[in-house]
Structure 1
Amino acid sequence: MVLISSYGQLDRDADATAARERLKPYLAQAQEPEYTGLMAAVEFPFKDYVNLERLLVGLRKAGVPELPDGFTPKRGVRLDAGSVRTLLFGHEIQGRNVRTGESYRRVTAEDGTTRITVGDWTDHGISTVEGDMLCSIYPTRWRFCGVVFRKSDGTFAQKNEYLLVLQSDRFEFSVVK
Structure 2
Amino acid sequence: MVKSEREKMAAGEWYSCLDPELDALRKVAQSAVHEHNLMHPGARDGMGPSLRELLNAPTAIIEAPFYCPYGFNIALGDDTFLNAGCTILDSAPVTIGDQCQLGPNVQIYCAEHHQDPDKRTAGLEIALPVTIGNQVWIGGAAVILPGVTIGDRAIVGAGSVVTKNVAANTIVAGNPAKPIHRSRTTKS
Q: TM-score, normalised by structure 1?
A: 0.26
> Relative contact order (alpha carbons < 8 A, sep ≥ 6): 1 or 2 greater?
1
